[in-house]
Structure 1
Amino acid sequence: MTACTANTCAPSGARVVLVSPYELGRQPFNLAQPAAWFGRADIAVACVDLAQQKLDPATFAHAEFVAIYLGMHTATRIAAAALPKIRALAPHARIAAFGLYAPVNAAWLKGLGVEAIFGGESEPDLLAWVQSGIAPAATVVRRSKIEFLLPERRGLPPLARYAKLILADDTQKLTGFAEASRGCKHLCRHCPVVPVYEGKFRVVPVEIVLADIAQQVAVGAAHISFGDPDFLNGPTHAMKVAEALHARFPDLSWDATIKVEHLLNHAALLPRLRQCGLLFIVTAVESVDDAILDKLAKGHTHADFEAALAQCRVLGIALAPTFVPFTPWTTLAGYRDLLVTLLKLELVEAVPPVQLAIRLLVPQGSYLMKLPDFAARVGAFDEAMLGYPWQADDPRVDALQADIMAWVMDAERAALPRAEVFAGLWARTHAALGEAAPPLDPAQFGAPIPHHSEPWYCCAEPTETQLASF
C-alpha cells in the first residue's frame, strides 16, 4: 500500500485512508478523485479497495482519518461488515462516509461511529474535514459545481486485477473506468441518485476525462467503461467526450449507461457514438409492465424499450438491459412475461442472471414514498436491510424471488452459463404458477454480447464471498 502525494507515491504512513467496499468490479473513480485533492494539499493518503484487497494493519497504522465511499446498496452492506474491523485497526481514527448512500443513511451511520457524512460533490468537504479537524454537525450534501482534478490512480490496485471486458468470442480486454458526469437530471422514483442530486448533474471537463483515460491506456486499458448515471444527460458534453476520445485513441472501445428515453430522443447521435467506438449500452429497462414503469417514473414504455433495442441492433450497438423484476406490484404472471419477453427479443445471453433476481430497494429518502398509499404498504425502516421492507400482494411472488436469488447465487459460485441459469429460472417460475414449463428453444437465447466479467450488481445483496473477502 502506498501513500500518494501530488508528485510521489511513497511507502510511508498515510494520515487519510480512503476505502471503497464495492464498485462493480471497476477501479473506483470515487477514490481516485478525492485522492487527487488530498495529494494536491500534500496530505498523505492511501486507497483501499475491499473488492481487491485485505484490510492491512500497516495501511491504517498512522491513519487519523478514514473516509468510506458508499456508492450504492451492496457497498454499504459490505461497509457495515468492514467497519468494526477498520475501527479495530485504527482505534483513534475519525471516520466519515461519502457517496450516494451516505446521506440517506446518516442516522444509521452515526450510530456505527461515523462522525461526518458527505454527499454529492464531496471532495471539498472531505478536504475541509481533514484540514480543520472539525466534523460538520449536520450532513453536508453539495450539488454545486466543483473543480475536478486528474484522478490519482497510482495508489489503487492495477487494472489487471479488475473486471475485464469479455467479447462475444470470449476474448478479453483490459478495462479502464472513467466518469464524464455525476448526478442525473431525471427523477426516477426508485433511483438512489435522486434523493442526493435532486435532478442536478455535474460534468467533468473533457480534458480531465481524456487525461484520465490516457493514464489508463498507458497501463494497458483497451476498453473504457463510463460510470455516469446517464451518459446522455448532457448530450453536447457527451459528444465532445466521445469525439475527443476517438480522435486520440481511435482503436479504443467503450461502453456507457443510457436511458431508454434518451436512446429514442437522441437517436440521431447514436450513429456517431458508434463511429467513436461505442461497443455496448447498459440501459435500465427495469420492467416490461407499463403500469410498473409508470410507478417508477421511468419515462419509457415496454414498446419504447423494444424500439430502442431495434435501433441499436441496426447500428451494431449491443444493448444490455437491467431490471428490477420484483416489486410490490409484480405478479407471477408478470414475472413469467418478463422471461417470455427476453426469449422473444433473443436477450437471454445479454442479461446477467442476477438482474432477474433483484428485489426493489426502498432506501431512506426514496421518491417511491411520494406515491399515494405507498408508505402504507411498507414496514418500518429496517437498518439490517438498509431499507423499508415490503411484501408482494401474492406471497408466492416473495417466495419465488427468494428461490430465484438462491439459485442465481449458487449458479454464480458454480460459474454456470447464462443459458443454464435462465433454464433454472424458467422451471422455477412455471412451478410457482403450477404449470408445466414449456420446452426452451436455444435459438431464442440470442447471441452473447460484450459484457464485463463482474457477475454481481450494485443493488443486490452482497454474497458471502464478498463479505468475507477483506
Structure 2
Amino acid sequence: MQVVLLSTYEIGRQPFGLASPAAWLRRAGHSVHCVDLSTQKLEGNTVREADLIACYAPMHTATRLANTVIQKLVSLNPEAHLCFYGLYAPMNEDYLRSLGVQTILGGEFEQGLCDLVERLARDDAAGRDPTSQIEPRVSLERQEFVTPDRGVLPALDHYAHFIDSAGQARTVGYTEATRGCKHTCRHCPIVPVYGGRFRVVQQQVVLDDIDNLVRTGAEHITFGDPDFLNAPGHARKLVEALHSRHPDITYDVTIKVEHLVKHAQLLPTLAETNCALVTCAVESFDEHALEVLDKQHSPQDFEYALEQLRAAGIALNPTFVAFMPYVSLEGYLDFLRTLHRLDLVGNVAPVQYAIRLLIPRGSLLLDRPETQAVIGEFDEEALCYPWTHPDPRMDQLHTDVSDYVERVQNSEVSRAEIFRNVLTLAHRAAGLPAPSAAEFPTDEPDLAPHVDEPWYCCAEPTTNQLLQLEVGV
C-alpha cells in the first residue's frame, strides 16, 4: 500500500509522530511518504498515488491547520482513504468525519495505523469498498515500539534551535520517552484521551533514536513527554545512559511543578547529565485558578521548585495560561509583578503574556460551574468552546496584549521592553498610572536558555501560524 503521513505543526520540531509510524509501516512492507507541511510543500503526485493519507493531529494548532488541507487532499485524490491520528483526532471525531475523514485513531496509534493499512489491503485485494472502521478509535494498549525512521524527513537544521546560556544556537533533535500523563489537570487535552494513564517508550528504542539524531547533526535533545518524571526511574536511567553515550549532548525536558517538588532529589542527576532547561506548565500564580485547573501545586510550591532548579544550575522555561475566566485583572497584574519579583522576565517567552485558555470538547473544565457560566456553544471550526470573561476589561486586554506580542515576538525588541509594555497595557486597563522605572527598572535581564520556537499550549493558533502552512502543489 502507498501511505502518505502528513504533519502540519509540532512546535518547530521534526515530527516524531511521522517518524515513528513510518518505521512501523515500512517494517510491514508498505511504501511510506512523509510530508511536514511546516517546512515542505504538498506534492500533488505524492497525494494522487496514495492509498491512505493519514494526518497527524497531536495538538489543537496542528488540527486546525490540518483541517485547512482536507479539501485539497480530497480534490487531488478522492479515492484515497483519509485518516486523522493523534491526541486531537478522537476529541474532534464528529467534525472530522463531517469533512470526509474515514478513520480516527487516538492514544497509541502506531499499531492502529498498521491494522488500518492491512484492512485496506485486504479490501483492495478482494475488490470491495473499504469497510467501516474496526480499529479502536482510542487505544491505550502497551506497544513494543520501533526505532523511528527519520530518513525522509527534512534535515534537523530546518527546525527550531536551542539557544544555550552563551547565546549559541544548537541543532535540536526531538524524541519521546513516554506518552500520556498520570495526572488529570482539568484544562489538559491529554486527559480526555489518556484519562490519567501513561505509556513508556522502551529505553533502547529511545537511545537508538537519539543515536540516529546525533548522527544527523543533533547537538541538543528535546524530550517531548508531557511530564518527564511520570516514570522517574525510567527517566533517571535514560538520561544516565544518554550522557554515557553522548557526554557533550545537552537536553531539555518538561516537568510538572508537583514533580519538581516531589522529586527534587533527582535534579542534581539531571544537571550532571547535561539537562540545560526544564519547561514547566506553571499556568498561574492565582490560587483559585490553580484549584480550578486541579494543578496540584501552590504558588509557594512553584517558588520552592524554582529555588531547587536554580540551585542545580538548570534553567526554567515557565509556561502560563495568562487569560482565564477564573483570573481577574488584578490577578493578571499580580502575575506580571510576580514574574518581575522572581527575576523571571528573561525566562518568559513573550507569547506567554497572551495565552488564552482553550476549552476543547471533553475538557474536564466543563464540569466546573465557573466554566459553564462563561462559555458559548461549541465552535466546530475553531474546535473549542468560546468564552467571555466576566470582566470586559480582560477580554479587551487580551486583544491588546495579543496584538502587541504578535507584532514584536520575532523582532529585536528585548524581553525586558516587551514585559514593560505589557505591564503598561495592564495598568492602563486597570486605570492605573504607567509603571514607574523606579519600581520596574529598565535593566535588561539575562536571556535564559530557550528553544527559539515559542511553546503554544492550551491556546488557539495565532494568525501567523494559520497563514504559514505550505499547502501549494
TM-score normalised per structure 2: 0.93
CA contact (8 A) 2:59 2:88 kept: yes
Q: Deviation string for 1:52-79 (max 9, x for gaps)? A: 1111213213111111111111111111
1:308-387 aligned within 5 A: 308-372=305-369, 374-387=371-384
CA shift in 2, pair 1:373/1:467, >3 Å: closer
CA shift in 2, pair 1:84/1:295, >3 Å: same
CA shift in 2, pair 1:412/1:82, >3 Å: farther
Which runs of no fewer than 5 residues in structure 1 stay unpaired? 1-13
Q: Separation in 1 of the partners of 2:198 and 2:113?
A: 20
1:250 corresponds to:
247
CA shift in 2, pair 1:429/1:298, >3 Å: same
Deviates more, 1:354-363 or 1:372-381: 372-381
CA contact (8 A) 1:17 1:46 kept: yes
Q: SS at 1:174's partner residue?
A: strand
Aligned-residue offset at 1:139: 6.0
1:284 corresponds to:
281
Q: SS at 2:54's partner residue?
A: strand
Q: Which amino acid aligns with 2:392?
A: P
- Structure 1 residue 32 corresponds to structure 2 residue 19: yes
Aligned-residue offset at 1:360: 0.7
Q: SS at 2:387's partner residue?
A: coil
Aligned-residue offset at 1:324: 0.4
1:167-206 aligned within 5 A: 167-206=164-203
CA contact (8 A) 2:163 2:450 kept: yes
1:68 corresponds to:
55
Q: Which amino acid aligns with 2:427?
A: H
1:97-112 aligned within 5 A: 97-112=84-99
Aligned-residue offset at 1:302: 0.6
CA shift in 2, pair 1:373/1:443, >3 Å: closer
Q: Separation in 1 of the partners of 2:412 and 2:91?
A: 35
Q: Separation in 1 of the partners of 2:406 and 2:136?
A: 36
Aligned-residue offset at 1:265: 0.3
CA contact (8 A) 1:255 1:280 kept: yes
Q: Separation in 2 of the partners of 1:381 and 1:91?
A: 29
Q: Separation in 2 of the partners of 1:261 and 1:141?
A: 28
Q: Separation in 2 of the partners of 1:271 and 1:170?
A: 23
Q: Separation in 2 of the partners of 1:463 and 1:329?
A: 23
2:128 corresponds to:
none
Q: Separation in 1 of the partners of 2:26 and 2:432?
A: 62
Q: Which amino acid aligns with 2:339?
A: L
TM-score normalised per structure 1: 0.94
Deviates more, 1:332-341 or 1:87-96: 87-96
Q: SS at 2:12's partner residue?
A: coil
Q: Deviation string for 1:297-334 (max 9, x for gaps)? A: 00101111111001110110111110001111121111
Structure 2 residue aligned with 1:306, among 303, 306, 319? 303
- Structure 1 residue 58 corresponds to structure 2 residue 55: no
2:125 corresponds to:
none
Deviates more, 1:451-460 or 1:115-124: 451-460
Q: Separation in 2 of the partners of 1:294 and 1:194?
A: 17
Deviates more, 1:82-91 or 1:403-412: 82-91
Q: Separation in 1 of the partners of 2:69 and 2:214?
A: 32
1:233 corresponds to:
230
1:462 corresponds to:
461
CA contact (8 A) 2:92 2:361 kept: yes
Aligned-residue sequence identity (percent) comes to 49
Deviates more, 1:85-94 or 1:153-162: 85-94
- Structure 1 residue 44 corresponds to structure 2 residue 41: no
Q: Separation in 1 of the partners of 2:77 and 2:247?
A: 46
Which runs of no fewer than 5 residues in structure 2 stay unpaired? 121-130
CA contact (8 A) 1:74 1:458 kept: no
Q: SS at 1:436's partner residue?
A: coil
Q: SS at 1:71's partner residue?
A: coil
Deviates more, 1:219-228 or 1:88-97: 88-97
CA contact (8 A) 1:23 1:458 kept: no
CA contact (8 A) 1:33 1:151 kept: yes
Q: Separation in 1 of the partners of 2:179 and 2:250?
A: 21
Deviates more, 1:373-382 or 1:254-263: 373-382
Aligned-residue offset at 1:400: 0.6
Residue-pair matches, total? 457
1:6 corresponds to:
none
Q: Which amino acid aligns with 1:451?
A: H
Q: SS at 1:102's partner residue?
A: helix
2:434 corresponds to:
437
CA shift in 2, pair 1:413/1:243, >3 Å: closer
CA contact (8 A) 2:376 2:386 kept: yes
Aligned-residue offset at 1:376: 4.2
1:417 corresponds to:
414
Deviates more, 1:291-300 or 1:368-377: 368-377
CA contact (8 A) 1:64 1:94 kept: yes
Aligned-residue offset at 1:168: 2.9
2:162 corresponds to:
165
CA shift in 2, pair 1:190/1:459, >3 Å: closer
CA shift in 2, pair 1:137/1:39, >3 Å: closer
1:3 corresponds to:
none
Could you say what the CA RMSD is over the residues aligned between the two structures, in angstroms? 1.6
Q: Which amino acid aligns with 2:298?
A: T
Q: Which amino acid aligns with 1:102?
A: A
